[in-house]
Amino acid sequence: MIRLVRSLTNLAVLLTLTAAFSPAASAAEAHLQVHITTGANELTAGSTVELRIYEAGKAVRRLALTHGESWPRDTLRIIPLTLAEGLDPRTVSRFSLYYRAASPLSPPWEVVAAEVDVDSAHSASQRLLNATLTGVINQRGELATEERDPSSMRCSTDADCDDHRNCNGHERCSPGSREADSRGCVKGLPLVCPVNQVCTEDHGCRGVPTG
């Protein structure tokens, strides 16, 4: 009976460590800060403002920036966002602010300046596409950056594909491969550890504690 309990305890520890250090669980979060300077008109309560991010080969990300509140005119709004899936700025083709007025009587909404800063676990903060949005939206529409040249998003070296995670293997730049993604990158082979060990990003293969 004691052996059975000890075996079950060791199994639980193994499963916990495997989940904690598996590539899926260790995917890096991305933290965004959206800076918006409003113009001469108030953003009326009930209006919708979204950040939309367009990435090569992926569905559009729609991130709500308002939740029913009004925004005063001539103010700077700083809105933090956390993306559990992470974001690679190298794959972003364009981004936009989408606006829908709360009422047909709402005045046009002016954006004096809007920028998006990206800060991931493995890179310093950077301005997305090094772009600033500015303009006026009447009732409903988008302010968007110019479409990025697809050739500028294609990898040229293995370093362009590196996701800075060791346990999921070494990524390669191979645009001609059938396994390549839209950037020309091929995923690596996950690191296989010896029996009773799991991969950790900080220390490589590590043994499971025993009771």
Secondary structure, 3-state, 123-138: CCCEEHHHCCEEEEEC
Q: Which amino acid is at 198?
A: V
Segment (H or E) for 15: helix 2-21
The neighbour count for residue 196, using CB atoms within 10 Å, is 10
Is 33 strand, coil or helix?
strand
Is 18 strand, coil or helix?
helix
Q: Nearest to residue 166, comparing CAs of 29, 30, 28?
A: 28
Instruction: Output DSSP code: residue 38.
Output: E
Instruction: Name the β-bridge partners of 200.
Output: 204
In Å, the largest CA–CA distance within the chain is 75
What is the reported pLDDT for 122?
56
Opening angle at CA 64, ends 63 and 70, nearest 5:
155
pLDDT tens per residue across span 190-210:
988 998 888 988 778 888 766
Q: Would you identify the CATH topology of the domain 30-152? A: Lipoxygenase-1 (2.60.60)
What is the reported pLDDT for 40?
94
Is 138 strand, coil or helix?
coil
pLDDT tens per residue across span 87-116:
888 889 999 999 999 999 999 999 999 999
- Please, where in the chain does CATH 2.60.60.20 lie? 30-152
What is the reported pLDDT for 206?
85
Phi, psi of 159 (to 5 degrees): -60, -30
Instruction: Output DSSP code: residue 56.
Output: T
pLDDT tens per residue across span 29-68:
889 999 999 999 999 999 999 999 999 878 999 999 999 9
What is the reported pLDDT for 1?
52
C-alpha to C-alpha distance for 204 and 198, rounded to whole angstroms: 8
What is the reported pLDDT for 195?
86
pLDDT tens per residue across span 143-187:
999 998 877 777 888 988 888 888 989 999 998 888 888 778 899
Opening angle at CA 57, ends 52 and 62, nearest 5:
20
What is the reported pLDDT for 107?
92
With cut-offs at 50, 70 and 90, classify the pLDDT of residue 25: very low
